[in-house]
C-alpha cells in the first residue's frame, strides 16, 4: 500500500495544489503528530484518501477557524481524519494502531507521558492486538507514533528521548513498521531508518511516501 506520512512541519510542497501531482496515487495518509488541523484537512480535501493521525507533544485539544460573519468556530479534531491513539484499525491489507505524545518534560495536561503512563496506553491496545492475532494471524503491521523508541533516532535531552516501553512492544507484537516524527532532521546524513528485531523504525519528518506491506502471518 502506498502511503503519504507527514509529521511536525507544514511543507509547502504538500500544502499546495502540487500535492496531487506528488502524492495523488497514494492509498492512505498518516500523520505522526504536531500537524495543524488545517494542514491535514487540506490534504484530505485534495487527495480524498483515508487519513489517520496521532497528536504530538505540541498537540492542541482545540483549534479555531473563522466562519460565517467572522464568527470563530471551535474545532477539536481535523475534519475527515481519524484519531488513531489507542485504537486499532484495518485499512486495506494493513493493521494499524497509534500512540500519541512524547516523554513528559513539563506540567502540560495532555500529550506528554512518563514511560509508566505510556504503558497504560499500550495496555489499552493489547486486547485488540490479541484479536488481530486470532483473526489475521498477526498482531499489527504499522504502529503510528509521535515519538521514537528509546535509543533509536532519539536525542539525549528529555523532551526528545524516546519511550523505553516501545522496545518490548516491538519485541512482543512485532509490527512490521513503527513510524514516528518528533525528531527534526537538519542534515542529510542523519539516520532515519533502523531495523529493531522484526520492525523497521522510520522517522518520517517532515513527510515521506512509503510503500508499506503487511507483515507475515
CATH of the domain at 56: 3.60.21.10
Residue 216 lies in a domain: no
Query: Which strands make up the sheet holding 82-83, listed edge to edge?
Result: 82-83, 51-53, 28-31, 2-6, 207-211
Please report the pLDDT score of residue 69 as a whole number.
55
Residue 154 lies in a domain: yes
Per the structure, how many domains does the chain have? 1
Range of the domain at 177: 2-65+73-211
Residue 187 lies in a domain: yes
Residue 87 lies in a domain: yes
CA-closest candidate to residue 20, choices 51, 43, 50, 53: 43
Cβ 83 vs Cβ 53: under 8 Å: yes
> CA–CA separation, 29 vs 40, rounded Å?
9
CB neighbour list of residue 10: distance below 8 Å, 6 or more residues apart: 35, 36, 39
Please report the pLDDT score of residue 68 as a whole number.
56
Please report the pLDDT score of residue 46 as a whole number.
98
Please report the pLDDT score of residue 70 as a whole number.
59
Residue 60 lies in a domain: yes
Residue 217 lies in a domain: no
pLDDT per residue of the chain (217 residues) written in tens, 0 to 9: 999 999 999 999 999 999 999 999 999 999 999 999 999 999 999 999 999 999 999 876 555 565 555 556 667 789 999 999 999 999 999 999 999 999 999 988 889 999 999 999 999 999 999 999 999 999 999 999 999 999 999 999 999 999 999 999 999 999 999 999 999 999 989 999 999 999 999 999 999 999 999 998 7
Cβ 139 vs Cβ 131: under 8 Å: no
Please count the residues of the chain.
Answer: 217
Please report the pLDDT score of residue 168 as a whole number.
99
CA-closest candidate to residue 138, choices 88, 183, 184: 88
Amino acid at each position: 500500500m502506498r502511503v503519504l506520512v507527514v509529521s511536525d512541519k507544514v511543507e509547502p510542497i504538500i500544502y499546495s495544489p502540487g500535492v496531487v501531482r506528488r502524492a495523488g496515487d497514494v492509498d492512505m495518509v498518516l500523520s505522526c503528530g504536531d500537524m495543524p488541523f488545517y494542514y491535514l484537512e487540506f490534504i484530505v480535501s485534495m487527495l480524498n484518501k483515508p487519513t489517520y493521525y496521532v497528536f504530538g507533544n505540541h498537540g492542541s485539544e482545540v483549534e479555531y477557524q473563522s466562519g460565517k460573519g467572522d464568527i470563530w468556530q471551535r474545532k477539536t479534531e481535523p475534519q475527515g481524519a481519524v484519531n488513531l491513539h489507542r485504537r486499532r484499525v484495518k485499512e486495506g491489507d494493513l493493521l494499524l494502531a497509534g500512540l500519541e505524545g512524547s516523554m513528559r518534560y513539563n506540567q502540560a495536561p495532555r500529550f506528554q507521558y512518563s514511560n509508566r503512563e505510556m504503558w497504560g496506553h499500550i495496555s489499552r491496545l493489547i486486547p485488540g492486538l490479541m484479536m488481530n492475532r486470532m483473526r489475521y494471524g498477526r498482531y499489527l503491521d504499522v504502529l503510528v507514533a509521535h515519538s521514537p523508541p528509546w535509543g533509536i533516532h532519539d536525542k539525549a535531552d528529555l523532551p526528545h528521548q524516546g519511550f523505553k516501553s516501545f522496545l518490548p512492544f516491538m519485541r512482543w507484537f512485532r509490527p512490521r513498521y513503527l513510524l514516528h516524527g518528533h525528531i527534526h532532521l537538519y542534515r542529510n546524513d542523519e539516520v532515519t531508518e533502523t531495523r529493531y528485531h522484526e520492525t523497521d523504525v522510520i522517522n518520517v519528518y517532515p513527510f515521506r511516501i512509503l510503500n508499506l506491506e503487511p507483515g507475515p502471518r
